[in-house]
Amino acid sequence: VYIHIYSYVLIFLFTCICMYVRRNNNNGEEEYAKVNWDELGFGLTPTDFMYVMKCSSKEGDEFLDGQLTPYGNIHLSPAAGVLNYGQGLFEGLKAYRREDGGIQVFRAEQNALRMKLGAERLCMPSPSVDQFLHALKLNVLANSRWVPPPGKGALYLRPMLMGSGAVLGLAPAPEYTFLIYASPVGNYHKGRTGMNIYVEDKLHRAIPGGTGGVKSITNYSPVFRAQKEAKAKGFTDVLFLDSVHGKYVEEDNVVSTPAIIDGTILPGVTRKSIIELATNFGYQFMIRVEYRTGKGALGQKLYERLAGIQTGFVEDNMGWTLKLN
């Protein structure tokens, strides 16, 4: 027990020393990692730290306080629930550097709430919203030198929740791990021009009553084949249709969006924010089935306002951003 506690103390002291040294380099200016920010794509660039927290059925499925650890591989049993039965989900959000040098994240509490809903669907315990936000803040501040300069990208944050305990029979795992790792990224889609999308009408990514409405890890690998074939034909990405009628898109539009009622559409944070912004602009937002779309001034206006709030270039009158100092 004493050795275990001693290890945690050493990790904590190591983290504090690293953060202190970095924040006091360059006459008090924040040190940036050695990254070509102008060439930053959407790929993995490992940062310094990740956050790890665990819970088990022996502890009443309550997550204990976690800790920052150096970024690296994790240990899993071959019989882990996440490896054998796909019992896992993830979230994705970004931290941006403002022009004043501060750092902010966008609507992180919505990701925390969505993780709780996903965990319930997959029979997993989940961190509380406060635990989620605390872990996120520690991760961002520990990796602050990896947050790109204003307008150069963002620090992508990947919170994960998985059944890490060993289980052979078809059942929930006896232990769970929550972790957050980070990577600096550029824009997923470069520029503001339209994308060349292939509409997939044979393969499906979600069915009514399934897990399409949560960020289960099982939702994503089935997309690879259709995506690979679409890109081989010269398309940017693939758009899936609903699995019942085969004609309605499964992603939301700008002013008209499908209702989230059958578990096939993810309740996206961006979707929710666009609805609220459009309403704030005085537009009526239609929740309905719609498969004829167009583009216009409203779409550009919504994009610019949302992106501006996210990055700190536009004042946040909606109370959506969490400033990390």
Positions marked catalytic:
215
| Of residues 164, 146, 119, the one with CA closest to residue 30 | 146
Q: Which of 91, 219, 112 is nearest to 159 (CA)?
A: 91
Core vs surface per residue 138-158: b (16+ CB within 10 A) or e: bbbbbbbbbbbebebbbbbbb
The DSSP letter of residue 298 is H
Do residues 257 and 276 lie in contact, with contact meaning Cβ atoms separated by under 8 Å? no
Inter-CA distances, 122 with 53, 54, 87, 147, Å: 18, 17, 7, 32
Q: What is the CA radius of gyration of the chain?
A: 21
Spatial contact of 178 and 135, defined as CB atoms under 8 Å apart: yes
Q: Which two tokens stand for residue 296?
A: 């216009």
H runs (alpha helix) in the chain: 2-23, 81-85, 108-121, 129-142, 224-232, 269-280, 297-311
**Cα torsion angle, 320, 322, 140, 65, sign:** negative
b/e burial code for range 261-291 (CB count within 10 A of at least 16 → b): ebbbbbebbebebbbebbeeeeeeeeeeeee
Round to whole Å and give the CA distance between 227 and 205: 11
What is the DSSP-derived secondary structure letter of residue 162?
A: E
